[in-house]
Structure 1
Amino acid sequence: MSEIESLFVTRLYRARLSEFGPKVDTGELEASCYAIAEDDEAGQDWCEENGYPGYTSYASLTDLPWRFPIFADIVKSLDAHVAAFAEDLQFDLGGGTLVLEDLWINILPEGGAHGSHIHPHSVISGTTYVAMPDGASALKLEDPRHAMMMAAPTRIKSARRELQPFIYVAPEPGEVLLWESWLRHEVPMNMAEDERISVSFNYKWVE
């Protein structure tokens, strides 16, 4: 009797941020993101110089958890979520641990998008979602085998989820998504009239 099994699985973690750690009010977090964006002139300048739609603190603020208590609370929750994901992935961390490398704000206006990319030098990456208005773009995840498919035909539209070339995940405010940092992903154009707000982050392995 023939047998088919799935190999080399790509895992995606999804949970409520509040499942671990202090409860974070998304309304307060949204107001904090806007206040930071308004005061962060270096971040505004970077976005303008690099053609980045909306605002990101990625290139300007590296110490959000130390500046603002609400981001310190987020990190406490994220540490627990990342530890749970690492356990699911069955990582052998030896005597080391996964620690926060960086954390930044994203405010994406109507018509804004964030092109396909990976997060080199990190182990786990992810995003927690602050505001996802109706029509806001989902997270788009790409099958990491694309470069090896060569002459393979396309999949049928009704292909099983694990065989789809792209997966779209529409998170809700207050949720967190985690994935391994080598997984290519993007944010398609935001079709909502209101801004899509999220906080993204990377974790690295420290031995």
Structure 2
Amino acid sequence: MTDILSLFATRLYRAKLSEHGKPVDPSELEASCLTIAEDDAAGQDWCEANEFPGYTSYASLDDLPWRFPIFADLVKVLDAHVAVFARDLSFDLGDKKVMLDSLWINILPEGGIHTAHIHPHSVISGTTYVTMPAGTSAIKFEDPRLAMMMASPGRSTDARDELKSFFYVAPDVGDVLLWESWLRHEVPMNMAEDERISVSFNYRWG
């Protein structure tokens, strides 16, 4: 009898923030993101110097949970989601924990993109979605084996999700996505007139 297995799974977690812990008000979170972006001169300067579209606090602010209570509330909820995902991944953590390493704001205007990247030195990465205007970008994930496929043919358009070379997720406001930090991903061009706002984060082991 023929037996075909799926091996070495790449897991992608998707849930509503409200599934674990105290709900976070998206309108308050949006207002906080916009206020921080307006006041963060160092972040604005970094984005301009590096030709980064829109705004990110990644290179300028590393203490958002201390500055705004809503981000402290958000981290408590994210901690619960990450703990669920870590159990699903069957991580043997020993006497250590998976804990927050960094958290930052992304504001992507019309025409802005986030090119493909990974998150080195982290274990679990993710994003929660604050403002997702109609027609804005999905997030695109890349098969981590792609560089090793060499002479392999492409996949058919009706291939099952787990066999596709690229997988797109169109999150809703209030969603949280989690993945292992080695998984390459990108945000294609925002085709909506309004800004796409999200909060991304990394968790490390230790």
Shared fold per TM-score greater than 0.5: yes
What corresponds to 1:52 in structure 2?
52
Distance 1:76 1:18 in 2: 11
- List per-residue Cα deviations over 1:53-81 (Å, max 9, x = no partner): 00000000000001100000000000000
Structure 1 position 122 matched with structure 2 position 122: yes
Q: Which runs of 4+ in 1 moved over 3 A?
A: none
- The CA deviation at 1:22 is 1.6
Distance 2:148 2:34 in 1: 42
Distance 1:25 1:58 in 2: 22
- List per-residue Cα deviations over 1:20-65 (Å, max 9, x = no partner): 1221110111011000000000000000000000000000000000
CA RMSD of aligned residues (A): 0.4
Distance 1:105 1:156 in 2: 36
What corresponds to 2:66 in structure 1?
66
Stretch deviating more after TM superposition (16-25 or 41-50): 16-25
Structure 1 residues 121-200: aligned runs within 5 Å: 121-200=121-200
Distance 1:138 1:62 in 2: 26
Stretch deviating more after TM superposition (20-29 or 102-111): 20-29
Distance 1:86 1:33 in 2: 28
Distance 1:23 1:155 in 2: 40
TM normalised by structure 1 equals: 0.99
- List per-residue Cα deviations over 1:125-180 (Å, max 9, x = no partner): 00000000001100000000001100000111111111000000000000100000
List runs of 5+ in structure 2 lacking aligned partners. Answer: none
Q: How many percent of aligned residue pairs carry the same amino acid?
A: 75
Which one-letter code corresponds to 1:3 in the other structure?
D
Equivalent pairs counted in the alignment come to 206
Q: Secondary structure at the match of 1:107?
A: strand
